[in-house]
Structure 1
Amino acid sequence: MTSLHTEKRTLLTVFSEASLEPLLIRDMDRMTIRGYTISDARGKGSRGVRDASWDESRNIRLEVICARAQAELLLAHLQERYYANYAMVAYLSEVEVLRPEKF
């Protein structure tokens, strides 16, 4: 049986208003985030149902896998810049990755 070599990284997951997508991409580029995934998201939370039935109710899910320090830096930036005025929640998770050089 082959042994897998994995390394620990941090997954930052952010749910946010879709209108912020261009700003979030700009922020990540400026912070030299190497990669991310953005997908559409629907659900219900403290601000009600976000079902994407019209543009203003669209949400996105942003996922970034990187070193813990970089994830914390990005999260602190998001909290400072966007949390007060936009629907946004985020969390950090420890993950194990193959090909750690990609992150």
Structure 2
Amino acid sequence: MTLQLEKRTVLTVITEAAMEKTMLRDLKQLGVRGYTVLDARGQGSRGVRDAAWGEAANIRIEVICTRALAETVLQDFLIRYYDNYAMVAFLQDVEIVRPDKF
């Protein structure tokens, strides 16, 4: 079997856990086929965020998709949420196997 890789983009969003249901609904409406959600802890401009306490918990959402879809989702989140919620987002180019899953 020959290894065949295809380029995709990973969109990573780190935000308040309270936003999870809303953002996952948005991802589905924007055409995202799958995602991963993880608890996140750390410190940044808004202080220490501890995943142990619901009010201060953060999540990390990761989506592997085409660059165009990643940019569409990121633009939507920037317009709707960036000014009012603790949120960091970034894109990374990756190479994947099994592109039919993404």
The alignment's TM-score, normalised by the length of structure 2, stands at 0.96
Q: Percent identity?
A: 58
- Amino acid aligned to 1:45: G
CA distance in 1, matches of 2:31, 2:44: 31
Give 5+ residue unaligned stretches, structure 1: none
Displaced runs of 4+ in structure 1, greater than 6 A? none
Aligned length: 102
**Aligned counterpart, 1:101:** 100
**Aligned counterpart, 1:35:** 34
Matched, 1:63 2:62: yes
Post-superposition offset of 1:14: 0.6
The alignment yields a C-alpha RMSD, in angstroms, of: 0.9
CA distance in 1, matches of 2:34, 2:47: 30
The alignment's TM-score, normalised by the length of structure 1, stands at 0.95
- Amino acid aligned to 2:76: H
CA distance in 1, matches of 2:8, 2:36: 16
Matched, 1:18 2:49: no
Give 5+ residue unaligned stretches, structure 2: none
- Amino acid aligned to 2:41: R
